[in-house]
Amino acid sequence: MTFPPLDVDFAHLADFDSGIGGTTADLVGMRSALVQMIDRPPPVDGVAVGQARVGAGPEVTIETFTPEAEGPRPAILWFHGGGFVVGSAGMDADRLQRWSRQFRCFAGSVEYRLAPEHPYPAAHRDGVAALEWLIASADELALDVGRIVVAGASAGGGLAAGVALAARDRGIRLAGQLLFYPMLDDRQVTASSQWPTAVWSRDSNEFGWRSYLGTVDTREIADYAAPSRATLLDDLPPTMILVGGSDAFVDEDIDYAARLAHAGVATDLRVYAGAPHGFDLLVPESITSCTAADDAERWLEKVLGRP
């Protein structure tokens, strides 16, 4: 099978696999190990770090990053990656602290429930509850509700896309959605989904989707669960999608971006040649990762406004 080779900066990842795809019991150890691996960034001047607990039955925890800047301020609601089965809200604290300071915005990372213990629609409902809390708390948090962006990486990008669809259907106008290599399509029918990719394999992808969708009949999978299945993409907010050219998700992400554009949605797409899944987290110092970070931040500046 022919597929794009990895860029030299990522060549050492050729044999790296996430290891996700065994049994539910295996996930317990993986989740614990991942939490231990996360290096909490040092405090950043001008950004207060905290937590909020929202909703009722069950409660959703949100890690919060609040700038000292006066309001009304924009907001970013973030969803972490992990194939729907691992990961935590603290994974992206460094990124969110930086964005909070740079754009003088409130940022919140959602500790959504993980599959397979909590299959769809648990994580989606947690995301919608977090967005509704953000809007309801606008006065308390000094937010400009007209400048809220939903964002996420991998499975979190898929969750952000599902929340954006739900927000539109509820009459909530978002300022944008920022999707890093989003996990959008459970069907695995694209050419790239068949590649023997590094980092996130076909087996891992099948396990993640199977865990998340649970016993849902394939004929009843909702757009909110697998946004690539959505046929109506009109009236969604301005969108940016970033994905590696050697990522199994590249075809579904390109297709989603094209269909958004055809529906009249202002859409920016960036495909980074030779980059695997999660490239910016695994090799953040590479030229490609730095370019992707700059691209995302320029887009955020355009959508949220120059501080």
Catalytic positions = 154, 247, 277
| CB 289, CB 181: distance < 8 Å | no
Token couple for 107: 């940022």
> Which residues are paired to 65 by β-bridges?
49, 107
SS3 call for 268: strand
Structure token pair of residue 242: 């970033």
Q: Look up tokens 């859409």; give the residue.
A: 267
| DSSP structure class, residue 17 | B
CA distance 3 to 17: 17
Cβ neighbour number for residue 56 with a 10 Å cutoff: 8
On the 0-12 / 13-18 / 19+ scale of CB atoms within 10 A, 162 is buried
